[in-house]
Amino acid sequence: MRQNSQNYTLAFDVGAAPEIRPKAIRIAGKWIRTTPVFYSYWRFAAERQDIFFKRLRGDRNRAFTSDPILARYKFTNAYRASDRVSQYLIRNVIYRPDLPNSFTEVFFRTLLFKIFNRIDTWEHLQEHVGAIVLDTFRFETYDELLGQRLKEGRGVYSAAYIMPSAGFMFGHRAKHQNHLRLLEFLIANDFPGRIASCSSMSQAFAVLMSAPSLGPFLAYQYITDLNYTPQLNFEEGEFVVAGPGALDGIHKCFEGASIPDSSDVIRYMQEHQDFHFSEQELKFSDLWGRPLQLIDCQNVFCEISKYARVAYPQYAGASGRTRIKQRFAMAGALPSPWYPPKWGLNNKIAAEPRR
């Protein structure tokens, strides 16, 4: 499943302003015209990362950005692993010294967390069952706890992903019940062992794809999360899968019907990030030396899709959505981030915590 790098070429209009100079980009043998949204992609990534570091420094000033859209609405970080939910997953679910560290156990709690993808859902379960370990997992107990939460009018799922119900396979009326059965199915059919024996991220992705109701996007997101664990160390740059939001963003960044495969477009952005930041005279503060990865560039496409609903309403994209629902609420300083130790960032952060 390796997606090979292509020979990319840029076409310029001599004398045009830096932010609009490239008129067409050649990706996977196709020339595609850019839109203004393409240039905002890079400005968004740079500005959103700048906001991240300002919040890390404890800047409570509402003028942390001059961009009125970024100041008003909620957007995820340029780096996926920097987001609040991903940080919680890494620190409080995966790397737990008080919980069993076999890959089966880490797989179980990672997927349990990610299926619902909500911190308060995890903490609700933890509060009532204690340590979340496979040995004490019981469908009836977890079903009752989640069902009660729903009866009280509180959600159990994040709005980040659309989760298919898996009812066709497991037969329950309630979605959370089917997902608890899905988790049982994954453990009973040794998905942890099968994934641990894979030699590449694409092989592990294929294993997850064989599970009921897990389509390409969810399987890619989950294998990315599992790759945060100490037991796996797959090459992150092997491949990428675009979600619906990223596909929408791609269609807003480029004109015409001949847009190459989304994976080629995302790989182009990842491999040419330095060029485009420099071309627009943008200072991009990377993640303590870690450039944007494929998963991050996919994520930024999703976010620029939302941003363009307000900034460039004339570019409808593929979804046709016109509003951004979530408003940004400033919560003050961020805690110092902590990433999978194998990335080699945590010592750098300790030495230069606020950059």
230-249 tens-digit pLDDT: 999 999 999 999 999 999 99
Please state, for a pLDDT cut of 90, what percent of the chain lies above it: 74
Residue range 236-290, pLDDT digits in tens: 999 999 999 999 999 999 987 678 999 999 999 999 999 999 999 999 999 999 9
Among the three residues 180, 206, 229, which one is the final residue of a domain in this structure?
Answer: 229
pLDDT at 12 over 50: no
Kindly report each contact of residues 167-172 with a partner whose C-beta sits within 8 Å and lies 24 or more positions away, as own/partner: 168/212, 168/213, 169/212, 169/213, 170/212
If one compares 26 and 3, the residue with the highest pLDDT of the two is: 26
Q: What is the pLDDT of residue 83?
A: 96
Question: In this structure, are 222 and 243 located in the same domain?
Answer: no
Among the three residues 229, 253, 287, which one is the final residue of a domain in this structure?
Answer: 229
Residue range 162-205, pLDDT digits in tens: 788 877 789 898 999 999 999 999 999 999 999 999 999 999 99
Please state, for a pLDDT cut of 70, what percent of the chain lies above it: 89
Question: In this structure, are 68 and 188 located in the same domain?
Answer: no
Q: 3-state SS of 218-245?
A: HHHHHHHHHCCCCCCCCCHHHCCCCCHH
Instruction: Identify whether 2 is part of a domain.
Output: no
Instruction: Identify whether 318 is part of a domain.
Output: yes
Q: What is the pLDDT of residue 216?
A: 95
Q: What is the mean pLDDT of residues 75-104?
A: 97
Instruction: Identify whether 89 is part of a domain.
Output: no
Question: In this structure, are 127 and 193 located in the same domain?
Answer: yes
Tell me the pTM: 0.91
Instruction: Identify whether 76 is part of a domain.
Output: yes
Q: What is the mean pLDDT of residues 125-129?
A: 97
Question: In this structure, are 221 and 243 located in the same domain?
Answer: no
Question: In this structure, are 270 and 203 located in the same domain?
Answer: no
pLDDT at 138 over 80: yes
Kindly report each contact of residues 199-204 with a partner whose C-beta sits within 8 Å and lies 24 or more positions away, as own/partner: 200/1, 200/234, 200/235, 200/238, 201/227, 201/234, 201/235, 201/236, 201/238, 201/239, 202/1, 202/2, 202/238, 202/239, 204/232, 204/234
pLDDT at 55 over 50: yes
Q: What is the mean pLDDT of residues 76-104?
A: 97
Instruction: Identify whether 208 is part of a domain.
Output: yes
Question: In this structure, are 135 and 221 located in the same domain?
Answer: yes
Q: What is the pLDDT of residue 332?
A: 58
Residue 57 pLDDT class (50, 70, 90 cuts): confident
Question: In this structure, are 34 and 56 located in the same domain?
Answer: yes
Question: In this structure, are 111 and 178 located in the same domain?
Answer: yes
* Structure token pair of residue 255: 């004109």
Q: What is the pLDDT of residue 163?
A: 80
Q: What is the pLDDT of residue 89?
A: 98
Spatial CA neighbour of 113 closest among 228, 211, 200, 195:
228
pLDDT at 124 over 90: yes
Q: Domain limits at 108?
A: 96-229
Enumerate the H helices of the chain as residue ranges: 36-56, 68-72, 84-88, 103-116, 119-129, 139-151, 167-170, 175-188, 191-196, 201-209, 216-226, 244-253, 262-271, 273-279, 294-311, 346-351
Counting the structural domains of the chain, the total is 2
For 120, phi then psi, to 5°, come to -70, -25
Question: In this structure, are 108 and 185 located in the same domain?
Answer: yes
Among the three residues 208, 229, 250, which one is the final residue of a domain in this structure?
Answer: 229
User: pLDDT averaged over the chain?
Assistant: 89
Cα separation, 276 vs 18, in Å, equals: 10
Residue 10 pLDDT class (50, 70, 90 cuts): very low
Q: What is the mean pLDDT of residues 209-218?
A: 94
* Structure token pair of residue 78: 């340029």
CA atoms within 13 A on the CB side of 170: 23
Residue 68 pLDDT class (50, 70, 90 cuts): very high
Q: What is the mean pLDDT of residues 306-335?
A: 80
Are 54 and 71 in contact by the 8 Å Cβ rule? The answer is no
Question: In this structure, are 190 and 253 located in the same domain?
Answer: no
Q: What is the pLDDT of residue 19?
A: 47
Q: What is the pLDDT of residue 256?
A: 76
Q: What is the pLDDT of residue 11?
A: 46
pLDDT at 224 over 90: yes
DSSP assignment of 65-132 equals -S-HHHHHB----SSGGGSHHHHHIIIIIIS-TTS--SHHHHHHHHHHHHHH--HHHHHHHHHHHSS-
Instruction: Identify whether 343 is part of a domain.
Output: no
DSSP 8-class letter at 148 = H
